[in-house]
Chains A and B, each alone.
Chain A
Amino acid sequence: MMTDKAYDVILNTLTPETTRDDVTLPDLDRKPDPWESSMQATVECLSWRGAWDNLDRRHTEDQLGETIYRDFPVRSRSVVATAHALMDKGVISPDELEAKMEEVRARFNRQ
Chain B
Amino acid sequence: MTHSHDDHAPIQASEEVSEFEILETAIRELSIEHGLFSREDHRRFSEWAESVGPSGGSKLVAKAWVDPEFKKRLLADGTETCKEVGIDWRDPTGSGTPSDYTYFYVLENTPKVHNVIVCTLCSCYPRPVLGMSPDWYRTPNYRRRLVRWPREVIAEFGLHFPSDVEVRVHDSNQKSRFMVMPMRPEGTEGWSEEQLASIVTRDTMIGVAVPQVDWTATTPPSDNGGTAR
The answer to the question of B190 belonging to the interface, with a C-beta cut-off of 8 Å to chain A, is no
Q: Across the interface, which residues of A come within 8 angstroms of B36, CB to CB?
A: 45-46, 49, 51, 91
Minimum Cβ distance to chain A for residue B101 (Å): 12
> Which of B23, B45, B132, B153 is A25 in contact with, Cβ under 8 Å?
B153
The answer to the question of A41 belonging to the interface, with a C-beta cut-off of 8 Å to chain B, is yes
Tell me the count of chain B residues lying within 8 A, CB to CB, of chain A. Answer: 46
A-B contact count (CB 8 A): 153
B136 A51 Cβ-Cβ under 8 A? no
What is the interface of chain A mostly: helix, strand, loop, or mixed? helix
A44 B97 Cβ-Cβ under 8 A? yes
Q: Across the interface, which residues of A come within 8 angstroms of B96, CB to CB?
A: 48
- Contacts A41-B46, A83-B23, A108-B17 given; 20 further ones with Cβ under 8 A? A12-B19, A13-B20, A13-B22, A25-B157, A29-B136, A30-B135, A33-B21, A35-B24, A39-B24, A42-B31, A45-B36, A45-B42, A46-B31, A48-B41, A48-B95, A49-B36, A54-B122, A76-B20, A91-B36, A92-B34
Give residues in A with beta carbon < 8 Å to B: 10, 12-15, 18, 24-30, 32-33, 35-42, 44-49, 51, 54-55, 58-59, 62, 65-66, 74-76, 79-80, 82-83, 86, 91-92, 96-97, 100-101, 103-105, 108-109
